[in-house]
Structure 1
């Protein structure tokens, strides 16, 4: 319905939970994206903090949606960025666009872009050296927390807001090679087929070490969020340990 409305010139906005978008892969791929109709999808309750039981997991949307041609999947870090992305997505007519709405009500006093037509351009919010932390969407805050812990170890880490889950910024990633040894990707979803693996693949023929952080592919069942973080080594302390312990 949303795809047909968009083809007819309307500005449809369809919102649904991450777990339910999993049930409509063919509609996403064939009805929406194959026709490149510019509908806007709002994906809610996504990630480990949005999950419930085994049949209502919300951790597969990035791996599923980011690999469909034509679809642009934006991952805002806060309320203000989500609003900026929604304003752009509704007005543009080039692509079907999905926005991964953060579960928490986080705010950032930053001037956000209002034009996302240059696809897959990351934002380097803090330039450091040695270690780069790429925090996708709601895990941007985790990148900031990890950077604060790394600072206690004498490491001034770079912090990057990738914004796009559906592609890589080759220029930004290549630029890190000059003065970084480790790139850490943080995503609130499964690692397999996800955002971090795209980064790791890009650096495959280089000397850059990549630490991909997310959730193991598993059917979790009513696991408390804190326990999930510990189990998948996603706390700032564990991430710092894994960075420092890598050969």
Structure 2
């Protein structure tokens, strides 16, 4: 509201993305391009070129339609467009076509873009404030949910770009989580603590760039790492962590990943689908115990309850 150059763009998703109130208060700063996601991305690029700060509110699954324009018209030009990627992860009742599980994999390979994933509603506000200070493309991915119900700060905080944060310390094990998986990771750490296992939890906050210094330091110290994400495993956040470990020669760090297996999910509630894919606090704790017991290190699990 304070910056008249900040405008909102959406593709026939005024209500779905929560922009109805913004559209009512600032009708001249709200643009609905209709069911034309590709045009929305190009339109935002044009606005950015003219000095505006467009925020494109779009479902993760529909961002795929504008992928070519994201590369050529925004990222290649280094335009300061913010992509608010709603419905990232498993969306539940919207159905199989609406699961936003591919965005990390297809976006992190693009040069010039910064990718963030908030762990709660307060951090989402911080990340939007941060994105609006960056002179280049940014993306914020967040799930379809009501948030965690935490208290919000009066004013959002601008975060240091590419910096994660340790939420729980632990010398036995390290859980690196991103976005919606941070809360269950913290709960898993608490469960493990009751068994005498000290599991640290690192909220990466940024998919790109990674907080290499913090991740490498904590991973080297723990020796065992479990990476948890609500996205496709192939090319996802866990892949980025494995690439980092390979580049830095951390062959001695035993690493496993949890996320969406190589399949399409069916219709179901979000909680049911998370349970199907083994993305609950209990599953995280179970896999941590398995790694500590020196069982199979590669936890890429496709649950039998998911039909193809």
Give the TM-score, by structure 2 length.
Answer: 0.73
Counterpart among 92, 96, 104 of residue 137 in structure 2: 96
Q: Which has the higher contact order (CA 8 A, sep 6+)?
A: 1
Q: Following TM superposition, by how much is the alpha carbon of 1:29 offset from its aligned partner in structure 2, in angstroms?
A: 0.7
- Is the contact between residue 183 and residue 210 of structure 1 (CA under 8 Å) also seen in structure 2? yes
Q: Aligned runs of 1:137-152 on 2, under 5 Å?
A: 137-152=179-194
The counterpart of 1:230, out of the listed 272, 275, 284, is 275
Hey, what does 1:49 align to over in structure 2? 91
Over 3 Å counting, the alpha-carbon distance change for 1:88 and 1:229 in structure 2 is: closer
- Counterparts of residues 9-48 of structure 1 (less than 5 Å): 9-48=51-90
Match for 2:173 among 126, 131, 137? 131
| Number of residue pairs the alignment of both structures matches | 245
Call closer, same or farther: CA 1:19–1:178 in 2, change over 3 Å. closer
Alpha-carbon distance, 1:177 to partner? 4.2
Over 3 Å counting, the alpha-carbon distance change for 1:166 and 1:31 in structure 2 is same
Runs of at least 5 residues in structure 2 that lack an aligned partner in the other structure? 1-42, 295-308
Which shows bigger deviation, 107-116 or 79-88?
107-116
Residue 300 of structure 2 is matched in structure 1 by none
**Alpha-carbon RMSD:** 2.1
What is the DSSP-based 3-state SS (H/G/I as helix, E as strand, rest coil) of the residue aligned with 2:206?
A: coil
Runs of 4+ more than 6 Å apart: 110-113
Q: Which moved more, 1:219-228 or 1:137-146?
A: 219-228
Give the counterpart of 1:106 among 148, 154, 160. 148
In the alignment, which of 247, 262, 272 is matched to residue 217 of structure 1? Answer: 262
Task: Report the counterpart of residue 158 of structure 2 in structure 1.
Answer: 115
Larger of the two Rg values belongs to structure: 2
Is 2:200 the partner of 1:158?
yes
1:242 offset after TM fit, Å?
1.8
Q: What TM-score do you get using the length of structure 1 for normalisation?
A: 0.90
SS in 2 for 1:76: coil
State whether residues 117 and 140 of structure 2, in contact with CA within 8 Å, keep that contact through their aligned partners in structure 1. yes
